[in-house]
Amino acid sequence: MKQPILQLNNINKSFPGVKALDGACLNVYPGQVMALLGENGAGKSTLMKVITGIYSLDEGEIRYQDKVVSFNGPRESQKAGISIIHQELNLLPELTIAENIFLGREITNRFGAINWSLMFEQADLLLKRLKVKHKSSTPLNELSLGEQQMVEIAKALSFESKVIIMDEPTDALTDSEVDSLFVVINELRDEGYGIVYISHRLKEIFEVCDDITVLRDGKFIAEKTVASMDEDTLIELMVGRRLDEQYPRIATTHSTVCLEVKELYAKATHGVSFTLNHGEILGVSGLMGAGRTELMKVIYGALARESGDIILNGQVINPTSSLQALNHGIAYISEDRKGDGLVLGLSVKDNMSLCALKDLSKGWQLDHQAEATSVNDFIRLFNIKTPSMNQIIGNLSGGNQQKVAIAKGLMTKPKVLILDEPTRGVDVGAKKEIYQLINKFKAEGMSIILVSSEMPEVLGMSDRILVMHQGQISGEFSAKEADQEKLMACAVGKNNNEVAA
Amino acid sequence: MSSNITSSVSAISKRHFLSKEWFIEQKSLIALIVLIAVVSVLNEYFFTIDNILNILRQTSVIAILAAGMTLVILTAGIDLSVGSILALCGAFAASMISLEIPVLIAVPVSLLGGAVLGSMAGLIISKGKVQAFIATLVMMTLLRGVTMVYTDGRPISTGFTDVADSFAWFGTGYMFGIPVPVWLMIFVFAGIWYLLNHTRFGRYVYALGGNESATKLSGINVDRIKIGVYSICGLLSALAGIIITSRLSSAQPTAGMGYELDAIAAVVVGGTSLAGGRGYIMGTLIGALIIGVLNNALNLLDVSSYFQMIVKAAVILLAVLVDNKNK
């Protein structure tokens, strides 16, 4: 067996209420590309943050070049020769390529002035090595995304890194850019670098990687050579968990169409069509960045629609603002409570009634009595744990915040309720309560779209499941025929027919 | 059900009264009372009805500007143009009065003019996506320039007509023994208080300042709210301009210069966060009074006007530091 250059053994890391890593392992070998795989939330990013010392580890050890190490942040790990290229590039678009490469450690003369010619010269050498056809004095914003990625790699090389970790490097790249990235990766491998390649795209794994490490729920599952694997076994390794009985499904009959989306095109939505029946829970699965949230926001009128129709109860509505969608009876609960879901500095009451204030006022004056009544009703109905409705919502737990967010949508008495990741950052107990609430709405005849990255949740709750991949629907399953392997296969880009075959 | 509501409401008010939270919330009021007590001991003239009314009248202009500024700052914006709107609308009112246009027409038209000027800033900010600081800086410079051109750099007298006499009521008149500007200040604060606490618009102002994207996603037209707050701020600036013009019987082209900073200081001393979404209109009134009392006290105590600026700066800094500490 080869000797790993970087070795992570039995890493444990807990956050309040969550065990993010539970005996995670990873070996990086010089001259090989190691794929790191796992579902959303499997602990890949946490593991990377442990390596660079952004998070301290609770247990376990990191061995680098045969020594136990612990880094105190990305600066230290980078100095030692471990570079991470993040999904979202950490570059400054207004500066030149050379300035970006040498940011924070500019080459200076002894008076502290920057030695520009030497810096450009060295940067040019790096670019040449990566076959980038730009001078290093070019401003970064004149480069394509793929070329910018090369600059990140050049930066990693300038640190004389021995280990380069790439987190979803091809997410934003075009096909030809992906090809040239792979050429560079192959060269780096031949030069003896140890490379970690994190990606959701299985095809790429088989194209460029030598070994595979699979994580699931923060646990180490397997380390295999790519040669010994095929796609199906790999998917099984990634999802392989059983559904437990936390999803109390209720059977309802639904035949009539409530919402229909026809050939919808928008910025990150490429020709999506589907229907939603009355009293149905439609699960929408897929990996991060598949365009699920964008699609929902187009339906909700918060993002611009390019073409196609949104039809509610037989009537074309095509909302151009969230207000229109709400007035038609579509409510959307955001996946990002902090970002655009809630106003964290306001009270529970002010947040919950925000969408529905028109119904809670007489003329232009707020009807405080009516507002308090319905807010308190929802607090009781949803079992929201808050000292009073005037509590600042930022002080509540994630689960209780989420319940307020759902109540906020329900206050508008919607016909269609779109829940985007309704259990993200929510503890197990509150999760179950939220599932029960969703079922209750369903029993009352509400039509629900449940967007979730957690496959067990989608499988357990939905009557029908759509899978999205790169802004398109890559699969549709009834609750009966769906299983995690099929969903995962569609999520990574196989289409329906391939899966069925 | 109803008992539930009343119990939770009374729980809140009970928690506040004389408890630690109550003191933290009322710290600007307490600071004002302490300030008054200290100065009363140091100077016997200070705590007389004449002087108190004097302070209130002197404070009214800044307080009215600060009331509008509070709305703007609650939305996480800022308005630097209040002083210039004050001058332009004051000059406009003065020339209408000098032309013997009746007060009942001249005053509403000036107020409307202020609202329109404010809404222009609001339009630039919301539709043009320009930062509030820049947009209102432009308006500040532009409108001061317009005022200078309009007045040719000279004061405009309201004249010596009957119309001018009745116009003088706004700045010099009394009602029930209390100066008219003080009444106007009280009405303005009562109005803004009502707006913020009892209307949808007020709730949206807080929401917008707390989290603009969440507010937008809640189906609220945030552009309309922004234009609304800058219009109200402009209208109140015009009202302040009318008071000053009426009091002096003439409009000075340089009137209101630097007032925007005093108004912002009053808002901040009153505990409203410049980051938006958090603050109280009554805090602003107290903030304005603290600055007003301080000015008056320093005069009474014969502190040179050069020193006054230093003391004022120290007090504002202190107020903000204390506010940060309690967050």
ipTM: 0.83
Q: Provide the pLDDT for residue B4.
A: 40
* Closest residue by Cα to residue A165 from A54, A295, A305: A54
Is B203's CB within 8 Å of A389's CB?
no
Chain A nearest CA to B165, separation (Å): 38
Residue B223 has pLDDT above 90, yes or no: yes
Is B211's CB within 8 Å of A368's CB?
no
For chain A, state the CA radius of gyration.
Answer: 25
Residue B155 has pLDDT above 70, yes or no: yes
* Averaged pLDDT for residues B257-278: 90
pLDDT band at B86 (very low <50, low <70, confident <90, very high): very high
- Give the up-direction half-sphere exposure of residue B47: CA atoms within 13 A in the CB hemisphere: 12
- Cut 0.80: pTM above it: no
* Averaged pLDDT for residues B238-261: 93
CA dihedral A47, A51, A56, A58 (to 10 degrees): 60
Q: Provide the pLDDT for residue A482.
A: 86
Measured between CB atoms, which of A366, A372, A408 is closest to B200?
A366
Q: Provide the pLDDT for residue A242.
A: 47
Chain A nearest CA to B258, separation (Å): 32
Q: Provide the pLDDT for residue B90.
A: 95
* Averaged pLDDT for residues B268-282: 89
Q: Which residues of A218-230 are buried (b: 16+ CB within 10 A; e: fewer)?
A: bbbbbebebeebe
Q: Between residues B25 and B253, which one has the greater pLDDT?
A: B253
State which residue of chain A sits closest to B278, comparing Cα positions.
A345
Question: Residue A270 forms beta bridges with which residues?
Answer: A265
Chain A nearest CA to B76, separation (Å): 13
Q: Within B17-102, where are the H helices?
A: 20-25, 27-42, 49-74, 82-98
Is A389's CB within 8 Å of B8's CB?
yes
**Using an 8 Å Cβ cutoff, are A454 and A484 in contact?**
no
Is A365's CB within 8 Å of B218's CB?
no
Is B217's CB within 8 Å of A376's CB?
no
Chain A nearest CA to B201, separation (Å): 8
Chain B nearest CA to A395, separation (Å): 13
Is B218's CB within 8 Å of A354's CB?
yes
Token output for A219:
């646990």
CA distance B279 to B276: 8
CA distance A39 to B204: 39
pLDDT band at B15 (very low <50, low <70, confident <90, very high): very low
Measured between CB atoms, which of B12, B201, B218 is closest to A355?
B218
Token output for B212:
């603009």
B199 contacts in chain A (CB < 8 Å) = 361, 364-366
Q: Provide the pLDDT for residue A217.
A: 80
- Which residues, including other chains, have CB under 8 Å from residue A489's CB and lie 6 or more apart? A231, A232, A235, A475, A498, A499
- Which residues, including other chains, have CB under 8 Å from residue A208's CB and lie 6 or more apart? A33, A182, A185, A186, A197
Q: For chain B, what is the mean pLDDT?
A: 88
**Using an 8 Å Cβ cutoff, are B176 and B187 in contact?**
no
CA distance A296 to A286: 13
CB distance from B198 to chain A under 8 Å? yes
Q: Provide the pLDDT for residue B6.
A: 36
One digit per residue, the tens of pLDDT, for chain A of length 501 reads 578 999 999 999 887 656 788 889 999 999 999 999 887 667 888 888 888 888 888 889 999 988 898 888 888 888 888 988 887 778 888 899 999 999 888 888 888 888 899 999 999 998 888 888 889 999 998 888 788 888 988 888 888 889 999 988 877 677 777 888 898 899 989 989 999 998 877 788 898 999 999 988 888 988 999 888 887 788 778 876 544 445 666 666 667 889 999 999 998 889 999 999 988 999 999 887 788 999 999 999 999 999 999 999 989 999 999 999 999 999 999 988 888 899 999 999 999 999 999 889 888 899 999 999 999 999 998 888 888 899 889 888 778 899 999 999 999 999 999 999 898 777 666 788 888 889 888 888 899 999 988 888 888 889 999 999 888 898 899 888 888 888 888 888 776 555 554
Chain B nearest CA to A413, separation (Å): 14
Measured between CB atoms, which of A327, A339, A364 is closest to B200?
A364
A342 contacts in chain B (CB < 8 Å) = 211, 214
Least confident of A385-389, B64-68, B215-219: A385-389
**Using an 8 Å Cβ cutoff, are A62 and A51 in contact?**
yes
Helix/strand/coil (H/E/C) assignment for every residue in A61-96:
EEEECCEEECCCCHHHHHHHCEEEECCCCCCCCCCE
B221 contacts in chain A (CB < 8 Å) = 321, 323
State which residue of chain B sits closest to A364, comparing Cα positions.
B199
**Using an 8 Å Cβ cutoff, are A365 and B199 in contact?**
yes
Token output for B187:
């009405």
Residue A6, SS3?
A: strand
Is A369's CB within 8 Å of B219's CB?
no
CA distance A462 to B325: 49
Residues 273-292 of chain B with CB under 8 A from chain A are: 277-278
A389 contacts in chain B (CB < 8 Å) = 8
CA distance A440 to A462: 13
Residue A251, SS3?
A: coil
CA distance A35 to A37: 6
Residue A411, SS3?
A: coil
Handedness of CA A313, A434, A218, A12 (dihedral sign): positive
Q: Provide the pLDDT for residue B7.
A: 37
CB distance from B9 to chain A under 8 Å? yes
* Closest residue by Cα to residue A390 from B194, B25, B225: B25
Question: Residue A277 forms beta bridges with which residues?
Answer: A257
**Using an 8 Å Cβ cutoff, are A261 and A418 in contact?**
no
How confident is the model over B95-129, as pLDDT tens digits?
999 998 999 999 999 999 999 999 999 999 999 99
Residue B317, SS3?
A: helix
How many CB atoms lie under 10 A from the CB of residue A412? 21
Token output for A56:
């301290």
Helix/strand/coil (H/E/C) assignment for every residue in A357-371:
HHHHEECCEECHHHH
Is B213's CB within 8 Å of A340's CB?
yes
CB distance from B13 to chain A under 8 Å? no
Instruction: Give which of B2, B218, B220, B223 to mutate to test A binding, by max A Cβ within 10 Å.
Output: B218
Is B203's CB within 8 Å of A354's CB?
yes
A334 contacts in chain B (CB < 8 Å) = 214, 217
Chain A residues whose C-beta sits inside 8 Å of any chain B C-beta: 300, 302, 321-323, 325-327, 332, 334, 339-346, 350, 354-355, 357-358, 361, 364-366, 368-369, 372-373, 376-377, 388-390, 408
Q: Provide the pLDDT for residue A143.
A: 86
Is A345's CB within 8 Å of B214's CB?
no
Is B8's CB within 8 Å of A344's CB?
no
Q: Provide the pLDDT for residue A152.
A: 87
A346 contacts in chain B (CB < 8 Å) = 206-207, 210, 277
CA distance B62 to B265: 10
Chain B nearest CA to A394, separation (Å): 11
- Which residues, including other chains, have CB under 8 Å from residue B178's CB and lie 6 or more apart? B53, B56
Is B210's CB within 8 Å of A345's CB?
yes
Q: How close are the terminal C-alpha atoms of chain B, in Å?
A: 34
Least confident of A170-184, A366-380, B54-68, B259-273: A170-184
A120's enclosing H/E stretch is: helix A116-129
Chain B nearest CA to A365, separation (Å): 5
Measured between CB atoms, which of A332, A346, A373 is closest to B1?
A373
